[in-house]
A and B are shown apart, each in its own frame.
Chain A
Amino acid sequence: MDVIYTDNNATTKVADEVIREMLPYFGELYGNPSSMYAFGDEVGRKIRKARQKVADLINADPDEIVFTSCGTESDNAAINAAITAFPEKKHLITSEVEHPAIRNLFKYLADKKGYEVTFVPVDKKGRLDMDILYSSMSENTAVISLMWANNETGVIFPIEEVAKKAGEKGILFHTDAVQATGKVAIDVKKAGVDMLSLSGHKIHAPKGVAALYVKKGIKFPAFLIGGHQESGRRGGTENTVSIIGLGKACELAKEHLPLMNTEVRALRDYLETQLLEKIPGTSVNGDRESRLPNTLSIGFDAVEGESILMLLDQKGICASSGSACTSGSLDPSHVLMAMEVPFKSAHGTIRFSLSHYNTKEEMDTIVGTLVPAIERLRMMSPFWKDGKMV
């Protein structure tokens, strides 16, 4: 059975070009990039090129890039650097809909380290409450961390505007751009952010490699203390092969950016239109005007997400759900709850996240599978009768 993969906000296929770029460094080119001989320096030069490509994707300078192991590490390193730089400031700002890498870190800092944290709420479309955000900024605020785009709904936050306001008040600004990278144009200089996280496996590089942009001049103490790697900010031998893969993936992401905003956006819109037309009691979650081009969060009334995913899986279709029952816990999606998405559709929310590898035929297969699947589940649902909620 062919797989139809529409869960690219979870992870992506490693691009063939990326694999080809990495392969020699698994085999004959195994030198340590820090070694003082040509065999090692050949690998070192490749890492320098990779660093340049990562920087090029976000309009940074190469020495502003720190390679890490994952988006969570980048996020944690950024926030820890910020609070270390300003030990006298005891207030932090983030949003209610952040990824657990930020959300749980901020909860930890509040619960265990005595920080006051403002979790800025969002409205029903997933947009930040700017009044609360701006009014909560103070001289005591060490750092503001806001995601560039939400992983579940794709809603894009006004990063440039907030970074400017934070800068005026002398507050460090970090953005978790893990979902936005490769999907919308990112220019760190134009955006005015101090730190930015991105991750390889969301942009067709392997899992286990990521990067943190740290603007020149920002105080950034070492968080892995060891050798001189990453300008002493993160000691330890580099994840050489994956970093090389990340470099290639960033080069490709830059090339594919126009594709993401034309063809992939059109495919997403086609899927959305078809589902809204053919399945009654269906609604899109999030601001449709300001959203990642590849992401569709769509809720089906009176049915539950895991059941939908299981029926999709029967046809080889991979997607994900905002439903409680698909996660390891029973908690509902904190993003949908923060947006006050009604329970009738929150539990039946499915996220489709596309890439340039998807096709229109695949979208038709998804629609052709979902229409009878929802109908079947509604036939056994006590909350659906005669084509509507009861």
Chain B
Amino acid sequence: MWDYTDKVKEHFLNPKNVGELEGANAVGETGSLSCGDALKLFLKVNENERIIDASFMTFGCASAVASSSALTEIIKGMTLDEAAKVTNDDIADFLGGLPKEKMHCSVMGQAALKKAIADYRGIQILEKPGEMVCECFDVTDLEIIEAVKTNGLETVEDVTNYLKAGGGCGKCLDRIEEIVVETRNETAEKINN
């Protein structure tokens, strides 16, 4: 059984701000059914760009529900500029921590918030550079290459633990393995030369 804090359990059993928000003028969605986690975040933002209400709908595990509930509590009353600075660590900290395997739930909250803010402002979120490899957790090949180089990652499992890439539907595991092998080979060649 996961070692959840009392606050995670409380926010799962009695989540705050659940359901579609009437009059919402910003929506951010992330995750998918195939990946086992999805979050739809609703914001009501006033003319001063202050979040006067927030709600969520979540498909996922207890920590996904708790992270979504925590996120709405954290951002209510903030301006969009303040909310834009909220990180996944803030969500995890609010809950007294999450198991390392569940940190992606808080990452999902941060991603949905970013999309909702962009939605309100009518800004199109720029695509990340590189080729999208893991659609479940929004990870590109360049990010994987960087992580392998910087942290000396050796296996697909290392990449999943580090970036969560490959931890959802698993369709990208072969591609991740290719990237790991190619990157390590390139690094070895440089050292040998």
> Are B65 and A330 closer than 8 Å at their CB atoms?
no
Complex CA distance for A304 and B63, rounded to whole angstroms: 11
Q: Which of A298-314 contact B (CB under 8 A)?
A: 302-307, 310, 314
Q: Tell whether A343 is near chain B: CB-to-CB under 8 Å.
A: yes
> Are B59 and A382 closer than 8 Å at their CB atoms?
yes
User: Could you jot down 25 A-B contacts, CB within 8 Å?
Assistant: A302-B33, A304-B36, A304-B59, A304-B60, A305-B61, A306-B2, A306-B61, A307-B65, A310-B13, A325-B36, A325-B37, A325-B64, A329-B101, A329-B167, A330-B160, A330-B164, A330-B168, A332-B36, A337-B170, A343-B36, A347-B36, A347-B59, A379-B18, A381-B59, A382-B59
> Are A382 and B167 closer than 8 Å at their CB atoms?
no
Question: B99-117, CB under 8 A of A: which get 1 and which 0?
Answer: 0011010000000000000
> Are B58 and A382 closer than 8 Å at their CB atoms?
yes
Q: Tell whether A344 is near chain B: CB-to-CB under 8 Å.
A: yes
> Are B13 and A307 closer than 8 Å at their CB atoms?
no
Complex CA distance for A329 and B57, rounded to whole angstroms: 24
Q: Which of B1-43 contact A (CB under 8 A)?
A: 2, 9, 12-13, 15, 18-19, 29, 33-34, 36-40
Complex CA distance for A383 and B97, rounded to whole angstroms: 28
Contact of A304 among B18, B61, B160 (CB under 8 A): B61
Complex CA distance for A337 and B173, rounded to whole angstroms: 15
Q: In the assembled complex, which residues on chain B have CB atoms less than 8 Å from the CB atom of A329?
A: 101, 160, 167
Task: Beyond the given A380-B19, A382-B59, please list 10 additional residue pairs across the A-B interface where CB-CB is below 8 A.
Answer: A302-B59, A304-B61, A323-B36, A330-B160, A330-B167, A332-B36, A343-B34, A343-B169, A347-B33, A382-B57
Complex CA distance for A330 and B173, rounded to whole angstroms: 12
Contact of B65 among A344, A347, A380 (CB under 8 A): A380
Q: In the assembled complex, which residues on chain A have CB atoms less than 8 Å from the CB atom of B15?
A: 380
Q: Which of B143-177 contact A (CB under 8 A)?
A: 160, 164, 167-170
Give the A-binding residues of B (Cβ under 8 A).
2, 9, 12-13, 15, 18-19, 29, 33-34, 36-40, 56-65, 101-102, 104, 160, 164, 167-170
Complex CA distance for A52 and B107, rounded to whole angstroms: 57
> Are B62 and A310 closer than 8 Å at their CB atoms?
yes
- List the B residue with the shortest CB-CB distance to A301: B33
Q: In the assembled complex, which residues on chain B have CB atoms less than 8 Å from the CB atom of A347?
A: 33, 36, 59
Give the B-binding residues of A (Cβ under 8 A).
302-307, 310, 314, 323-326, 328-332, 337, 343-344, 347, 379-383
Q: In the assembled complex, which residues on chain A have CB atoms less than 8 Å from the CB atom of B65?
A: 307, 380
> Are A304 and B169 closer than 8 Å at their CB atoms?
no
Ranked nearest first, the 6 interchain pairs of A and B with the lowest CB-CB distance are A330-B167, A325-B61, A306-B61, A382-B57, A382-B40, A343-B34
- List the A residue with the shortest CB-CB distance to B29: A382
Given the contacts A307-B12, A330-B160, A383 and B59 also touching, CB distance less than 8 Å: yes
Q: In the assembled complex, which residues on chain A have CB atoms less than 8 Å from the CB atom of B102?
A: 325
- List the A residue with the shortest CB-CB distance to B99: A328
- List the A residue with the shortest CB-CB distance to B69: A380
> Are A303 and B59 closer than 8 Å at their CB atoms?
yes
Complex CA distance for A310 and B102, rounded to whole angstroms: 15
Q: Whole-angstrom distance from the CB of B174 to the nearest CB of chain A?
A: 14
Q: In the assembled complex, which residues on chain A have CB atoms less than 8 Å from the CB atom of B164?
A: 330
Contact of B61 among A307, A314, A331 (CB under 8 A): A307
Q: Whole-angstrom distance from the CB of A16 to the nearest CB of chain B?
A: 27
- List the B residue with the shortest CB-CB distance to A331: B170
Complex CA distance for A141 and B24, rounded to whole angstroms: 63
> Are A381 and B57 closer than 8 Å at their CB atoms?
yes
> Are A380 and B57 closer than 8 Å at their CB atoms?
yes
> Are B38 and A314 closer than 8 Å at their CB atoms?
no
- List the A residue with the shortest CB-CB distance to B55: A380
